Amino acid sequence: MADNWDVIVGDLKNRAQGMHEAREAVLVQCRKLGQLAAKSIRHVHRHQFVEAEALLEEAKAVAAHARELLKPHPELNPAYLHDTEKEMVEAAAVLSIVLKRPYPTVDDLGAQVMSYLNGMGEAASEVRRFALDEMRRGHIEEAADILRQMETIYDDLITFDYADSMTGGLRRTCDALRAVIERTRSDLTATSSQQELVKELQALRTRLENS
């Protein structure tokens, strides 16, 4: 046996243990990140935008910490960060769409490219709920603006026509978003027609009362 084998094994065990500890620590941060992103989105739907913003900032800090934990171990595959980074991007984009702010960039969030693209697709689907709430309140133009943003995001995402193994399932995200857009467009059309009918009936009633 070569004289240096024990030294090699000892060194590799130390490295492997470091990788294991980093991976476990990152998984803890991923769970926390997912929880913060979900809470932020819930606050957006409740129109609690200050709270949503605070949770989003906390999520960004957690994501940055997770990436720092991975830095000393380039051999670790950061793919398991994909889903939780995607949720952070979704939360940030939902807030931007609803508040009509510029979208966060991939560099703003420090996310992986495919995490960002999938997160934007998820956000475009998520804001359907907000659009429906706006329709119920009679805010047709606000709902229409959200629908336009959903369509724009979809139209651009489908141009990233690469292998699923590279995009992290972006094609599936786009397929789901397309169906959500069609339902939202249908709901908006029906609601607009109903509101126009109500206005016409009210106008007719007013004319009859004044005649």
Burial class (CB in 10 A: 0-12, 13-18, 19+), 8: exposed
**Contact status, residue 147 vs residue 131, Cβ threshold 8 Å:** yes
pLDDT at 38: 96
pLDDT at 19: 93
102 phi, psi to nearest 5 deg? -60, 145
Assess whether pLDDT exceeds 70 at residue 40: yes
Record: fold of 112-211 = Methane Monooxygenase Hydroxylase; Chain G, domain 1 (1.20.58)
Question: Pick from 192, 76, 70, 77: which is nearest to 141 by CA?
Answer: 192
pLDDT at 205: 72
pLDDT at 132: 95
Summary count for the chain: helices (H), strands (E): 8, 0
Alpha-carbon gap, residue 50 to 192, rounded angstroms:
31
Assess whether pLDDT exceeds 70 at residue 8: yes
Handedness of CA 83, 22, 37, 115 (dihedral sign): negative
Question: What mean pLDDT do residues 139-153 have?
Answer: 96
pLDDT at 198: 63
Assess whether pLDDT exceeds 90 at residue 147: yes
User: How many residues are there in the chain?
Assistant: 211
Assess whether pLDDT exceeds 80 at residue 91: yes
Assess whether pLDDT exceeds 70 at residue 204: no
Question: What mean pLDDT do residues 25-47 have?
Answer: 95
Domain formed by 1-98, architecture: Up-down Bundle (1.20)
Domain ranges of the chain: 1-98, 112-211
Question: What mean pLDDT do residues 15-30 have?
Answer: 94
**Contact status, residue 118 vs residue 170, Cβ threshold 8 Å:** yes
Question: Fold match between 1-98 and 112-211?
Answer: yes
For residues 123, 80, 113, 144, the Cα torsion angle rounded to the nearest 10 degrees is -10
For the chain, state the CA radius of gyration. 24
Assess whether pLDDT exceeds 90 at residue 20: yes
Assess whether pLDDT exceeds 90 at residue 145: yes
3-state helix, strand and coil shares in percent for the chain, rounded to the nearest 5:
85, 0, 15
Residue 70 or 211, more confident: 70
Alpha-carbon gap, residue 36 to 87, rounded angstroms:
9
Assess whether pLDDT exceeds 90 at residue 18: yes
pLDDT at 45: 96
Whole-prediction pTM value?
0.88
**Contact status, residue 60 vs residue 106, Cβ threshold 8 Å:** no
Assess whether pLDDT exceeds 80 at residue 200: no
Q: Mind listing the pLDDT tens digit for each residue in 110-131?
A: 999 999 999 999 999 999 999 9
SS3 136: helix
